[in-house]
Amino acid sequence: MATTRSEFRSVREATLYVGLELSKKTWKLGLSGGFGTCPYVRSVPSGDFAAIDRVLARARQQFGIGPEAAIVSCYEAGRDGFWIHRALTARGWANRVVDSASIEVNRRQRRTKTDRVDAQKLVTMLVRACCGEPDVWREVRVPTAAAEAARHRSRERTALTKEHSRAWNQINSWLATCGCQVSVRQRTGAWWTTARDWQGARLPAPVQQRIARAIARLRVIEEQIATVEATQAAAVAAAPADSALERLVRVRGVATTSASVLLDEGLIWRDFQNRREIGGLLGFAPAKYNSGAAERDQGISRAGNRRLQSISIQLAWNWLRWQPTSALTQWYLAKFGVHRRSRRIGIVALARKLLIALWRYATTGVVPEGAVLKA
């Protein structure tokens, strides 16, 4: 997520504000004519833009807004992705996609939570944001259709890798319930048919059959992972010499998968303006608590892109191994030394600095200080 500056609109400028609360069957439209008008809510079938046009026509009459007035809308980022944003902008609307975690809520222990209330809340906050009030919420930077589609490749590989690990963990747990230990080197062929339990007997037939089916699934997963990795390698081979992808994979310690995840999650298409925006997307920021006489450190904030966080930590450890003479590695060793606990804490700081350095290299070609490139 990134903070984006909303287009300022005068309070006196005739504008129709629409807040969309989305669900699978119906959409709730919160409608307002700006400050001084009481918003109201109407329901339309999901994706029925003809019904939306009819609702907007009646809203223009009620608020006294002419057909030439602009329409400003918003909705929360969710399962529907960004196709709704593209459909609304194609109709001439000025739409904004909002980070749902940044919307202010009532702090009462029990509060009313309905789609109608949420739609009214969205449209009133939209009016405040468009009329100049700062920090009302955080808006999501919408990717292009091509960038959004490209993310499926790296995300599919991540999901397949997790599924592969989950399947092996299940097999290991089935073996443990029988008191059976089979090393990785022994797992060749139909190894489960010759495995022995704690008393030297073969595994029960149902256990063998279940392991066989799990192994069959694992082979399919491994084939799919190989296919995705081959596609990523082909994309690297076809990338121009001065492209961001080609630059990243040229750095020692950055592999094809890591570079693909960085670019797919928005290292380039989010169009960062400075390092603070990158830090806001990555997270890994300290969460302080300082109120009255109470002051404590709550650790690292959980906010941020989880996929970028995971890959940046892996890249940081690889950087220490493959770039020992770089300025970042020397800074890390001088500040956090060799103690295991401090090294684990410091790797988070190194991950933030490394991601910023890789962003600068991918966008401007400035090689991180002391880094070694592949031949």
Tell me the C-alpha distance between 371 and 353, whole Å.
14
Gap between the Cα atoms of 30 and 55, Å rounded: 10
Domain match, 197 and 220 both: yes
Q: Which domain holds residue 167?
A: 150-238
In a domain, 315, yes or no: yes
The predicted structure's pLDDT at residue 356: 95
Pair 19, 122 in one domain: yes
Residues in the chain: 375
CA distances from 226 to 102, 222, 257, 267 (A): 39, 6, 12, 25
- Quick one: 252 and 232 in the same domain? no
DSSP state of 45: E
The SS3 call for residue 48 is coil
Mark whether 191 and 224 lie in a shared domain. Answer: yes
CATH code of the domain containing 126: 3.30.420.40
In a domain, 348, yes or no: yes
Long-range contact pairs involving 163-168 (C-beta distance under 8 Å, separation at least 24): 163/221, 164/218, 164/221, 164/222, 164/225, 167/214, 167/217, 167/218, 167/221, 168/218
Tell me, yes or no, whether 135 lies in a domain.
Answer: no
What is the number of domains present in the chain? 3
Give yes or no: residues 115 and 65 share one domain: yes
Q: What is the dihedral of CA 90, 91, 93, 98, to 10 degrees?
A: -60
Q: How far apart are CA 87 and CA 207, in angstroms?
A: 52
In a domain, 207, yes or no: yes
Give pLDDT, residue 12. Answer: 67
Evaluate whether residue 59 is within a structural domain: yes
For the chain, give me the number of helices (H) and strands (E)? 11, 7
Residue 200 zone, left/alpha/beta (φ > 0; ψ -120 to 50; rest)? left
Model confidence, pTM:
0.84
Whether residue 218 lies inside any domain: the answer is yes
Give the position of tokens 């309070």: 11
Residues 126 and 20 in one domain: yes
Q: What is the pLDDT along the chain (375 residues), one digit of tens a residue?
A: 444 445 656 656 789 999 999 999 999 999 999 888 899 999 999 999 999 999 999 999 999 998 889 999 999 999 998 999 999 999 999 999 999 988 888 888 778 889 999 999 999 999 999 988 888 999 999 999 999 999 999 999 999 999 999 999 999 999 999 999 999 899 999 999 999 999 999 999 999 999 999 999 999 999 999 999 999 999 999 999 889 999 999 999 999 999 999 999 999 999 999 999 998 889 888 888 888 888 888 888 878 889 999 999 999 999 999 999 999 999 999 999 777 788 888 999 999 999 999 999 999 999 999 999 998
Residue 57 forms part of a structural domain:
yes
For residues 124 and 156, membership in a common domain is answered with no
Together in a domain, 207 and 273: no
Give a yes or no: residue 117 inside a domain. yes
The answer to whether residues 83 and 104 belong to one domain is: yes
The Cα 336–Cα 291 span in angstroms is 30
**Under 8 Å CB-to-CB from 272, ≥6 apart: which residues?**
2, 278, 281, 359
Q: Are 114 and 198 found together in one domain? A: no
Tell me which of 238, 257, 277 is where a domain ends.
238
pLDDT at 4: 44
